[in-house]
């Protein structure tokens, strides 16, 4: 069988599988009218087509696939694999992410650069090396800055909730603002499709867009680190651009919801999230503000913190893959996630919309952070890495410890979620100590990824 026939046959099987899935869901539904049937079919195709398209890109089933680099296949396949893993318990799926961080740490241990490459024979090589060495330090500082902004964000969520007195008055709870986007979604999903809230939440949890974006970002960083010369991107400049994007977006978010407080769509939100009445003594009041608001706040609405994180991850992943079909499919999944967020009443439609627009504007405005001439990339010494098989027991133990600690915190099986910010601060102190005493090392890089894993695991 020729390669073209194989691709065609595989694509036919994938499409057939999608059709079977759609028909199975329809057979389990109580069809009430032709309009109900047509709406259900269109919605199921719209919801499942992105995953099918991403799988097709990963398998290289399109005509342009022969020009793809390896990472343009691996990243889409990792996204599909994460969708499958999302059907497993959280302890297992988050454990898979921790194992991925560990394996990346083992596979990214750099070998020493030969002396002749770094010798004064080529001044441009020395300049390139210095630039490369300075970028990790910038990224490390950016991670610390982002973590600080997230902690401030978390505290301000409590501040606006505690100081917005109307939401704490049972006899005069404020009405939510009119959200036309939510009204349309609830009418279509509830009255036209006849789906219950449980059905919709189950759909969102089965896809878990947040974690497929985290997985895609992880694979993007791995590919950029291990295949920098082929991709033409630098791990640290890419990371720096992403970190600056989310930091700026979160800072704008904090300023926005602090200067103008909006009523929550859930009138009883305060009583389900925070202590009532607010603590009178300052120490308890401050400690309450340090508890991670992993399930969101009440009045921190414009702009959505959820949207700032997921949109940044989507920008990073789609820019690395560089495939239009993949980009359209991934952003469709992000849009579905946002629509369900609005449907459930966690955010107003404008919160999600502005979050996505703001992040994209910031991301594209920061393109200069990644600009690197072809000559600079050519002059930068090609880095080589030890294989996982060459890792010693000491390497396994040393890199496993922070990954294991991060996994324990994300799952909450030992350390409770309300203490998670203390783990974040502990990791920050450890990273700062390493940099101050030994400079930026590979182990520092590994701890930074574990720190990001904890922060994303808590706040997503």
Cα separation, 342 vs 182, in Å, equals: 6
Q: Which of 144, 214, 219 is CA-nearest to residue 453?
A: 214
Domain segments of the chain as ranges? 1-68, 91-459
Dist CA 202 CA 376 (whole Å): 49
Residues 84, 417: Cα–Cα separation, whole Å: 26
Angle (nearest 5°) at CA 50 between 344 and 52: 130
Distances (CA, A) of 374 to 118, 239, 334: 19, 19, 33
- pTM recorded for the entire structure: 0.83
Question: Residues, the chain, total?
Answer: 460
For residues 160 and 182, give the distance between their C-alpha atoms in angstroms, rounded to a whole number. Answer: 24
Confidence (pLDDT) at 73: 87
Which residue's structure tokens are 């010369």?
Answer: 229
pLDDT of the residue at 332: 95
DSSP secondary structure code for residue 275 in this structure: -
Instruction: Provide DSSP, 185-231.
Output: HHIIIIIIS---HHHHHHHHHHH-HHHHHHHHHHHHHHHHHHTHHHH
Would you call 148 helix, strand, or coil by DSSP? Answer: helix
Cα torsion 245, 249, 250, 255 to 10°: value is 150
Which residue, among 216, 135, 95, has the nearest Cα to 448 in the 3D structure? 135
The per-residue pLDDT for 119 is 44
Phi, psi of 140 (to 5 degrees): -60, -45
Q: Tell me which residue of 247, 246, 231, 434 sits closest to 320, measured CA to CA.
A: 231
Per-residue pLDDT of the chain (460 residues; tens, 9 = 90+): 556 676 677 777 777 887 887 888 787 778 888 888 888 888 888 888 898 899 888 888 876 666 677 888 889 988 888 888 777 776 777 777 788 888 888 888 888 766 544 444 443 333 344 444 467 778 888 888 988 998 999 999 999 999 999 989 888 888 899 999 999 999 999 888 888 888 888 888 888 888 889 888 888 888 888 777 778 788 888 989 999 999 999 999 999 999 999 999 888 899 988 988 899 899 999 988 888 887 778 999 989 999 999 999 999 999 999 899 999 999 999 999 999 999 998 899 999 999 999 999 999 999 988 875 444 555 556 667 888 888 899 999 999 998 898 888 888 777 676 677 777 888 888 888 888 888 788 888 888 888 878 877 776 6
Q: Which residues pair with 203 in a beta bridge?
A: none
DSSP state letter for 414:
S
pLDDT score of 247: 95
What gap in Å lies between CA 42 and CA 47, rounded to an integer?
9
């Amino acid at each position: 069988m020729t390669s073209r026939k194989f691709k065609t046959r595989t694509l036919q099987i994938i499409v057939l599988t999608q059709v079977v899935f759609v028909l199975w869901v329809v057979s389990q539904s109580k069809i009430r009218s032709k309009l109900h049937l047509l709406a259900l079919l269109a919605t199921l195709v719209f919801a499942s087509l992105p995953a099918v398209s991403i799988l097709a890109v990963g398998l290289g089933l399109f005509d342009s696939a022969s020009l793809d680099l390896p990472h343009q296949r691996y990243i889409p396949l990792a996204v599909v694999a994460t969708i499958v893993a999302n059907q497993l318990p959280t302890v297992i799926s988050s454990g898979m992410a921790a194992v991925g961080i560990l394996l990346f740490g083992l596979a990214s241990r750099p070998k020493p650069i030969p002396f002749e490459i770094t010798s004064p024979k080529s001044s441009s090589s020395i300049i390139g090396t210095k630039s490369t060495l300075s970028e990790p330090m910038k990224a490390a500082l950016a991670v610390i800055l982002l973590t600080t902004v997230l902690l401030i964000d978390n505290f301000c969520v409590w501040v606006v909730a505690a100081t917005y007195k109307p939401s704490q008055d049972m006899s005069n709870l404020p009405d939510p603002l009119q959200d036309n986007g939510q009204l349309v979604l609830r009418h279509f999903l509830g009255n036209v499709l006849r789906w219950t809230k449980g059905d919709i939440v189950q759909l969102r949890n089965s896809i878990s867009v947040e974690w497929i974006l985290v997985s895609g970002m992880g694979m993007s960083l791995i590919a950029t680190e291990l295949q920098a010369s082929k991709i033409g991107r630098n791990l640290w400049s890419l990371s720096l651009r992403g970190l600056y994007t989310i930091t700026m977006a979160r800072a704008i978010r904090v300023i926005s919801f602090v200067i103008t407080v909006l009523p929550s769509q859930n009138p009883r939100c305060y009583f389900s999230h925070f202590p009532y009445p607010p603590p009178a003594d300052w120490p308890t009041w401050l400690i309450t503000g340090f508890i991670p608001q992993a399930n969101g706040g009440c009045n921190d609405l414009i702009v959505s913190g959820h949207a700032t994180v997921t949109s940044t991850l989507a920008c990073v992943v789609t820019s690395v893959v560089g495939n239009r079909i993949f980009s359209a499919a991934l952003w469709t999944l992000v849009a579905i996630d946002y629509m369900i967020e609005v449907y459930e009443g966690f955010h107003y439609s404008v919160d999600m919309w502005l979050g996505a627009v703001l992040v994209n504007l910031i991301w594209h405005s920061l393109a200069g952070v990644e600009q690197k001439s072809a000559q600079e990339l050519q002059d930068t010494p090609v880095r080589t890495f030890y294989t996982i098989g060459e890792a010693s027991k000491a390497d396994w133990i040393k890199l496993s410890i922070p990954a294991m600690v991060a996994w324990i915190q994300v799952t909450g099986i030992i350390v409770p979620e309300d203490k998670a910010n203390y783990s974040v601060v502990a990791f920050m102190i450890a990273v700062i100590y390493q940099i101050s005493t030994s400079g930026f090392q590979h182990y520092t890089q590994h701890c930074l990824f574990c720190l990001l894993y904890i922060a994303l695991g808590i706040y997503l």
